[in-house]
Amino acid sequence: MVTKSIELRANRLAWAGLIPFIGTAILGAFNLWVDVLLQVFLIYSAVILSFLGGIHWGLAMAGQLERPELRMLLCMAPALVAWLAVAALPEIIALPVLAGSYLLWLNYDLSQVTAPWYERMRRPITFVAAGSHFIWFTVLMTAIRTAS
């Protein structure tokens, strides 16, 4: 059972976890340290996407999900997508792949974790995280267009 104290702590930590997304996107939008901050952003995004899959790993191990063996396999998808996006794709492609992965995983996540407080927390946080990817995408597209 999740107490109000745990729910509040989870909310605060989750919102604090957006600071690197928002901070790097804002600085990038002002064309500050774009090369370095984009790499920081992509790595952080991959780590957080992997973490979201890990939530399901823990739930499956605790026997809180139906068909835990299948769920444990599925929860590896965010980490693999994140790794491939950051390691193998051009940044301009990696950004929408990661953003789309956050949105797709949100849909799966909320089909499995039905606690109302979790949905209230996850939805807006995911939209902010995904939105920060589109800010970076816009920064890169603007740089490409002005360089042409």
Which tens digit of pLDDT belongs to each residue from 80-112? Answer: 999 999 999 999 999 999 999 999 999 999 999
b/e for 17-48, b at 16 or more Cβ within 10 A?
ebebbeebbebbeeeeebeebbebbbebbbeb
Length of the chain: 148
pTM to 2 decimals? Answer: 0.95
Return the pLDDT at 38.
98
Tell me 148's DSSP state.
Answer: -
CA 44 to CA 52: how far, in whole Å?
12
The answer to whether 20 touches 40, Cβ cutoff 8 Å, is: yes
Low-confidence ranges of the chain (pLDDT < 50): none
Determine how many CB atoms are found less than 10 A away from the CB of residue 53. 22
CA 99 to CA 120: how far, in whole Å?
19
Nearest C-alpha neighbor of 41 from the set 122, 105, 136, 120: 136
CA 119 to CA 14: how far, in whole Å?
12
Kind and range of the H or E run holding 119: helix 116-147
